[in-house]
Amino acid sequence: MPTHDVLVIGAGLAGQRAALAAAEAGASVGILSKVHPVRSHSNAAQGGINAALGEEDTWESHAFDTVKGSDYLGDQDAIEIMCKAAPQEILDLEHLGVTFHRNEQGRLGTRAFGGASAARTYYVADITGQAILHVLYEQLMKHDEIYRYEEWFNTAIVQDDGGQVAGVVARNMRDGTMELFGAKAVILACGGNGQIYNPTTNALICTGDGIALAYRAGAPLMDMEMVQYHPTTLQGNGLLITEGARGEGAHLYNAQGERFMEKYAPNKLELASRDVVSRAEQTEINEGRGFPDGTVALDITVVPRKRIHEALREIVNVGRDFAGVDITKEPIHIKPGNHYVMGGVKTNVDGQTEIPGLYAAGEVACVSVHGGNRLGANSLLDTLIFGGRSGRHAAQRAKTMAQPTASREHLEHEEQSVREIVGRDRTGRRVSEIKAELGSTMDKYAAVFRDEEGLNQALEIVRRLKEEAKTVAIDDKGSVFNQDLFGALELGYMLDNAECVVVGALERKESRGAQFRTDYPERNDDEWLKHINLTYSEDGPQISYSDVTITQWQPEARTY
Amino acid sequence: MPAYTLKLRRYDPESGQSAYWQEFNVELAPERSVLDGILQARNDQDGSIGIRCSCQAAICGSCGVRINGKSRLACNTKIGEAAERAEKMGRDAIVVEPMGNMPVIKDLIVDMDAVHWKKVQRVVPWLLPEGDPPEREYIVPAESMIDITQSMACIHCGVCVSACLSMEVDPEFVGPAALAKAYRFVGDPRDAHEEERLRDLAEDEHGIYDCTHCFACVEVCPKDVAPMNQIMRLRRRATGDYGIKDDNNGYGHEKAFVDLIERYGTLHESQLLPRSYGQGSLVRSQLDPHSVKQLITAFPTVVNGLKSGKVAPKAALWHNKLPDQSQVRRIYNEVHSHGERIELNMYIVGESGGEEEGAMAEGSQEA
C-alpha cells in the first residue's frame, strides 16, 4: 500500500503548491491527478494574479475590493489573510522563475482588472495560469521526495473507524489496477465543476470530483449556488476571452452600437465586477438589443495593435482559430458563459474541512474568499495562498500523529462497484446523453437569472438524471484507459454537484452576487447575510447555515 | 449538417491483436474541430475510443494526434479543412492516427512519459539562480521576459516531437520540445548556469547539433514556439558567446559554411570537410588535434565522393569565386555592422513599418 504523510488529489496550481509546501515542511508527499499535471485546468487562467505590491497600493484596498466584489458574502478574516500574503507570493513565484511581465525599468508591471480600484494584476502575456503551472511543475520535477501519481483517478476518500481520514482509493488509468493509498492527511485540490453546465469555459476534466467526494464522505459544502458566469465567452463552445481584454481597454457594444455599460456601471464601465457585467449583457440580449445569435460585441480594436500582440496574443489565436475573427480588426461576438464556482467544500483558513485530516484548497474549496462573486485574477491567488497553507498545516499535523488504519474493505468495495459498472448490461442511456441534458438544464434554469419555478424544474430533472445514471451504459470492457468508465464515474460526481447548486439556489431567497433571483430581486442582509451549508443524506442535501465573518467592512450598497 | 468520415487507427493492447482501421461517420458544422468529430463518434457510437482531451481550446496540450499524416492538435484542426485536405490527397476519409516517435498505449493515446517527459527532464528543467534571491523581484529587461515567454508558451503537447525527423533517425535526440525548454532557462537572465547548460547540450552528440533544420517542428507547433529557432539560438550562444566546440563538430561545420561563402560567394564543397575540422585548411595544417578521429572516420565519405564523381579532383582544389564579390561582402558587412544579434521573435511586433513585417523579426538587444 503506497503510504504518505500527505496525499494531494489534483495537480493544478492549488495541488502543486500544496505538495511543495508540505514537502518543504518535511512531510512525505504523494500527488495524484487524473491528468498529467501540466494538463490541469489552471492552464486556462489567462489574465493574471492580483497583489497589492505596488508602492501606492495597500492590502486593505485589495481586501476591500474583494469584500465588495463578493457582495459581502466573503469571510473577511480569510480575505485579509489572502490579500496580506499576496505580495510575497508574487515575489516567491518570480524567484522560482515565472516570467512575469516587466515594465521599462525591468521591474514587475501590472494591468487593470474588473472590480479593482488599482491596477494590481501581475501577468505573463495572457498565459499567466500556464506560466505559473509550468514553473511549479519544474519545481515538482526537481523535488525527488514528492511522488507523482500521474493519470490516477480517485474513486473514494477513506476514513478510519474514528472518522479520521486514512487515505483514498484510486484507479491507475493506464492499466486499470486499483490501489488503496494510506495518508495522514488528504488535500483535495481538484478544481471546479463547470462541466455540469453546457456551454462552459471549463475543461472536460472539471467535473466536480473533489466536491462530490468530500460531500459523500460527510463534509459540508458551502454556498454552492454561487456560480460565476464570465462576461466574455464565445457563443456555442463557451471559449473564454480573457478579462485582460477589457483590462487593456476593450469596449462592449450592443447591436445598436451603444456602449451599454454606461447605463449599468457608469463609473467602472466594462471593468465593473463580473456578475454586474454578465447581468448587463444578458439584459441587453433578453430585451432584444443583442445580435441575432444571442450575443453582444466586444471591441478590442481600440487597443493598440502592438499591445494586443504583446499582451493578448492567445486571444488573437482563439479569435482566429475558434471564431474566424481577427480581433485586431473587428469586434468579436460574446455572451456570458459558465466559468467558476465560488462555493465548494467548506474549509477554515488552513484548508481544514469538518472531517479530521481532510483538507481542500482552490476552486474545489470554499474558504470563503470569493463570496457571491469572484474578482478576476483572485482565483490564482486563492489557489496558491490556500494551497500553500493547507500543505503546511497538513504536514505539521502529520508530525503529531500515527498513521491511521486504512481498511482494505474500502478497496474491495470500490473494485466491486467498478466491476458492476463495467459488467452492466447495455440497457440504460449513454453517458453523453445524460450529461448533455444536465448541461442544458443548468444553463437554462440556474444561470445568470433564476426563479423558483425554473429551479424546481431543474431539481426535478437532476433527480431523474441521478436515477438514470444508475443504469448508464458503457461500451468499453477493458482495463487500459477505460475512459468510458471514468465518464460514468464523473457523471455521478457531476449530478451530486448539480443537485447541490440547485438546492442552494432555491434556498437563497434573495439576489446577491452571482445569485440573481428575479422573484427576489433585492439583496436581503437581514435574512440572508449568511452561508448556506449542505450536508449529504440519503434524501438529498440537508441545509444548515453559518455566519459570515465580518472584521472591518460593514455591508453597504454595491455600486460600480 | 455536413457529414464526414473519420478513419481512426484503433489499437487495444488487451486484445492481443495488432492495430486496425475503423471508420466512423459524423455530422457537424465544418468549422467544428476534428476532436469534436472524434468525441461525437465516442459519445454516440463507441465509448471505447481512446483519446486524451480536456480543454478543447489548444491550451492543455492533451489531444496531439496525426491527421492526414500531419502532427496536430485535434481540437484546433477544423474538420471541414481536414476533409478538404484528405480529398486533395485522394482519400474519402479523414485519417487520424496516434503521434509518431512515441509508443502507443491505446488507440490515439501515446506514452508521453517514455519519450517527451524523459527528454524534458534531461535538460535540467528548473531555474538555477546564483545565491539568495533578492528581497524584491529580480530586475531584468522586459524584452528578455517577452523573449523567453515564447518558449514558455509551449504546452508540452508533443506535436513537434511527433513530427521530428531527426528523432526518427536518432531516437536519443533530445528533441525540439525539450530544447525549447532549455532555451527558456538559457535565455533567462536570472539563471546563472548558461554556459554549463550550453556546454552540456552542445557536447552531447544527441544535443543541439543533432537538429537538421528541417523546419518540421516550426511548421506543426500549435503555439508558435518555433522550437527549431530556439535550438538555433542555443547554438549561436554556445558558439558565438562561449566558443564551445562540440564533439561532433557542429561548431566547426557551421563556421566553415559561413567562412567559405564569405570567401567564395558559393559553397566550396570539397573544402567543407577539412575546414569543418580545422581552423583554416588542411593545406596550411591548422588541423584541430581533437578532430583527427572524426576526420579519419570521414575518409570513406571523401573516397565515395571521388568515386561517384560528386567531387572532381580538379574542382576540389580549384573553386571559382562568384563573379560579383562586392555584393557578398556587402551582406557580410551589413550583418557585422549591427553589433547586436538579430533574433527572430514572434512575440515582439513592430508598430512602425509594414503591417506584417513587424510580426516576423525585430532586433533585440541581448542581455
Of B12, B126, B134, the CB nearest to A139: B126
pLDDT at B247 over 80: no
- Residue pair A175/A461 in contact (Cβ under 8 Å)? The answer is no
Helix intervals (H) in chain B: 34-44, 79-88, 118-122, 142-152, 159-163, 165-169, 176-186, 194-203, 216-220, 227-236, 250-264, 269-277, 292-308, 313-317, 325-338, 357-360
Helix intervals (H) in A206-268: 209-217, 244-247, 261-264
Percent of chain A with pLDDT over 70: 100
* Secondary structure class of A113 (helix, strand, coil): coil
Amino acid B282: pLDDT: 53
Amino acid B94: pLDDT: 98
Of A101, A103, A484, the CB nearest to B48: A484
- Residue pair B37/B79 in contact (Cβ under 8 Å)? The answer is yes
Which whole-number Å values give the CA distances from B340 to B72, B187, B321, B343, B367, in the listed order? 36, 15, 29, 9, 10
Of B126, B129, B134, the CB nearest to A138: B126
* Secondary structure class of B267 (helix, strand, coil): coil
Of A91, A102, A432, the CB nearest to B136: A91
Phi–psi pair at A202, nearest 5 degrees:
-75, 150
Residue A492 grid cell = 455521478
A283 touches chain B (CB under 8 A): no
CA distance to partner chain A, nearest, from residue B56 (Å): 7
Binned at pLDDT 50, 70 and 90, residue B349 comes out as very low
Amino acid A378: pLDDT: 97
CA distance to partner chain B, nearest, from residue A482 (Å): 7
CA pair distance A396, A491, nearest whole angstrom: 36
CB atoms within 10 A of CB B69: 12
Q: Please name every residue paired with A152 in a beta bridge, in sequence order, or none if there are none.
A: A172
Does the annotation mark A171 as catalytic? no
Q: Which amino acid is at B82?
A: A
Percent of chain A with pLDDT over 90: 93
In A, minimum Cα distance to B30 occurs at A322
Please, how many CA atoms are within 13 Å of residue A82, restricted to the half-sphere of its CB? 36
Q: Which amino acid is at A127?
A: I
In B, minimum Cα distance to A108 occurs at B137
CB contact under 8 A, A142 and B126: yes
* Secondary structure class of A4 (helix, strand, coil): strand
Residue A417: its H or E element:
helix A408-423
Residue whose C-alpha cell is 561548431 = B251
Nearest-10 crossing angle of helices A128-142, A13-24: 30
Sign of CA dihedral B299, B301, B304, B308: negative
Amino acid A137: pLDDT: 98
Contacts of A35 in chain B (CB under 8 A): 52, 54, 60, 62
Amino acid B362: pLDDT: 33
In A, minimum Cα distance to B347 occurs at A310
Q: Which amino acid is at B63?
A: C
pLDDT at A78 over 50: yes
Nearest-10 crossing angle of helices A483-507, A431-445: 20
CB contact under 8 A, B152 and A203: no
pLDDT at A190 over 50: yes
Residue B365 grid cell = 538587444
CA pair distance A51, A110, nearest whole angstrom: 10
Could you say which residues from 403 to 432 on chain A have a Cβ atom under 8 Å away from some Cβ of chain B? 430-432
pLDDT at B21 over 50: yes
Query: Over the stretch B291-334, which tens digit does the pLDDT of each residue have?
Result: 677 678 778 887 888 888 877 777 777 788 888 888 888 888 88
CA distance to partner chain B, nearest, from residue A82 (Å): 19
CA pair distance B247, B200, nearest whole angstrom: 11
State the average pLDDT over residues A301-310. Answer: 90
* Secondary structure class of A526 (helix, strand, coil): helix
Binned at pLDDT 50, 70 and 90, residue B366 comes out as very low
Q: Please name every residue paired with A544 in a beta bridge, in sequence order, or none if there are none.
A: A533
Q: Which of A483, A486, A490 to mutate to test the interface with B (most CBs of B within 10 A)?
A: A483
Q: Which member of A120, A148, A246, A274 is catalytic? A: A274
* Beta-carbon pairs below 8 A across chains A and B: 170
State the average pLDDT over residues A384-399. Answer: 98
HEC sequence for A487-509? HHHHHHHHHHHHHHHHHHHHHCC
pLDDT at B39 over 70: yes
Residue B184 grid cell = 527558456
Could you say which residues from 510 to 529 on chain A have a Cβ atom under 8 Å away from some Cβ of chain B? none
Which whole-number Å values give the CA distances from B285 to B103, B262, B274, B277, in the listed order? 49, 21, 10, 11
Residue whose C-alpha cell is 490501489 = A179
Amino acid B275: pLDDT: 77
Query: Over the stretch B56-97, which tens digit does the pLDDT of each residue have?
Result: 999 999 999 999 999 999 999 999 999 999 999 999 999 999
CA pair distance A78, A34, nearest whole angstrom: 29
CA distance to partner chain A, nearest, from residue B62 (Å): 7
CB contact under 8 A, A309 and B50: no
CA B163, B166, B167, B171: dihedral to nearest 10 degrees? Answer: 160
Residue whose C-alpha cell is 473533489 = A210
Nearest to B74 by CA among B11, B157, B151, B154: B157
- Residue pair B147/B186 in contact (Cβ under 8 Å)? The answer is no
Amino acid B315: pLDDT: 72
Residue A454: its H or E element:
helix A452-469
A175 touches chain B (CB under 8 A): no
CB contact under 8 A, A39 and B112: no
State the average pLDDT over residues A316-330. Answer: 90
Q: Which amino acid is at B224?
A: D
Query: Over the stretch A12-47, which tens digit does the pLDDT of each residue have?
Result: 999 999 999 999 999 999 999 999 999 999 999 988
The better pLDDT of the pair A7, B236 is held by: A7
Nearest to A105 by CA among B216, B366, B275, B142: B142
Binned at pLDDT 50, 70 and 90, residue B288 comes out as low
Pick from A512-516, B223-227, B355-359: least confident: B355-359
A478 touches chain B (CB under 8 A): yes
CA pair distance A243, A114, nearest whole angstrom: 7
The better pLDDT of the pair A113, B292 is held by: A113
Q: What is the DSSP letter of B198?
A: H
Q: What is the DSSP letter of A44?
A: G
Q: Which of B36, B137, B188 to mutate to test the interface with A (most CBs of A within 10 A)?
A: B137
Binned at pLDDT 50, 70 and 90, residue A382 comes out as very high
Query: Over the stretch A254-276, which tens digit does the pLDDT of each residue have?
Result: 999 999 999 999 999 999 999 99
Nearest to A342 by CA among A194, A158, A163, A528: A194
CA pair distance B78, B221, nearest whole angstrom: 16
Amino acid A156: pLDDT: 98
Residue B279 grid cell = 581552423
CA distance to partner chain A, nearest, from residue B191 (Å): 9
Contacts of B13 in chain A (CB under 8 A): 480
Amino acid A518: pLDDT: 97
* Secondary structure class of A554 (helix, strand, coil): coil
Nearest to A318 by CA among A236, A204, A242: A242
Of A102, A135, A483, the CB nearest to B50: A483
Predicted ipTM of the assembly = 0.95
- The three-point CA angle A329-A330-A333 to 5° equals 150
Please, how many CA atoms are within 13 Å of residue A152, restricted to the half-sphere of its CB? 25
State the average pLDDT over residues B161-190. Answer: 97
Amino acid B340: pLDDT: 57
Q: Please name every residue paired with A358 in a beta bridge, in sequence order, or none if there are none.
A: A186
pLDDT at B344 over 90: no
CA pair distance A388, A59, nearest whole angstrom: 19
Residue A392 grid cell = 503546511
* DSSP conformation letters of A142-196: H-TTEEEEETEEEEEEEE-TTS-EEEEEEEETTT--EEEEEEEEEEE-----GGG
The better pLDDT of the pair A231, B285 is held by: A231
Amino acid B291: pLDDT: 64
Amino acid B363: pLDDT: 34
CA pair distance A69, A374, nearest whole angstrom: 7
Could you say which residues from 198 to 227 on chain A have a Cβ atom under 8 Å away from some Cβ of chain B? 203-205
CB contact under 8 A, A478 and B14: yes
- Residue pair A442/A498 in contact (Cβ under 8 Å)? The answer is yes
CA pair distance B174, B234, nearest whole angstrom: 13
CA pair distance A498, A459, nearest whole angstrom: 9
Pick from A287-296, A431-440, B311-320, B348-357: least confident: B348-357
Q: Which of A20, A95, A438 to mutate to test the interface with B (most CBs of B within 10 A)?
A: A95
State the average pLDDT over residues B104-109. Answer: 98
Q: pTM score, two decimals?
A: 0.92
